[in-house]
Amino acid sequence: MIALSTRNQVMDGNIKFAYTVKDEIPAYFYGFIPHSYPSFEDFLKGVKTDLFWAERESPNAKIIQQNIREKANQMIKEKELYEVLLVNSDGLITEGSRSNVFFVKGNRFYTAPVYQVLVGVTRQKVLECLSELAFPIIEEAVFSLEISAYDAVFLTGTSPNVLPVNCIGTSTFQTNNFFVEKLMAKYNLMVETYIRSQKT
């Protein structure tokens, strides 16, 4: 991947790695993909999302489901959203189209269990930070009809890190939630500490 970046003189962005097997012959592909990093204002004011009724096959595996991806991207573009949240046939919000999602009520943090989502590294690190902060973690998906009962919502992922959500459709949420801000500070410190450790 370093060679790909160097040869193309691209130092910022996201790289996609795809692996497939056809007729017992493995093949792989590296390439740049469109990326969207949140702005400083996004972290302060939060981002817009909406609900998207779809569920991935084998959510624990990072399998390309082009139909879902294309429809999600189309909805994001048409409604000028940052992300869409996937809702399954039971009406449960599982994850974002390219992120994980957490809901907050008081000091309690709710997120879908591992069998319903693609378990990202950022999500795991967020869970570690929440444990260190002694904030309760409830691994259960939130019903789409009950989102108004929650105080705050945020996304996690490689690009967004811990990113507040200001609305899901017409439902609005706090973006200066005390508990989310404590988590963001903890997560950012963890990242900074890791980066410093790699420079020594």
The one-letter code for the residue type at 92 is L
CA atoms of 111 and 140, how far apart (whole Å): 6
pTM exceeds cut of 0.85: no
Question: Are the C-beta atoms of 23 and 17 separated by less than 8 Å?
Answer: no
* Nearest partner of 101 among 33, 180, 189, judged by Cα: 180
CA atoms of 151 and 104, how far apart (whole Å): 6
Which tens digit of pLDDT belongs to each residue from 16-46? 556 677 778 877 666 655 556 899 999 999 9
The pair of three-digit structure tokens given for residue 195, joined into one six-digit string? 């980066």
Which tens digit of pLDDT belongs to each residue from 71-108? 999 999 999 999 999 999 999 999 999 999 999 999 99
Supply the mean pLDDT for the chain. Answer: 88
The lowest-confidence range among 14-23, 49-58, 140-149, 168-177 is 14-23
Which tens digit of pLDDT belongs to each residue from 53-80? 998 776 655 545 668 889 999 999 999 9
**Higher-confidence position of 118 and 148:** 148
Looking up tokens 């890190």 gives: 161
Residue 158 has pLDDT above 90, yes or no: no
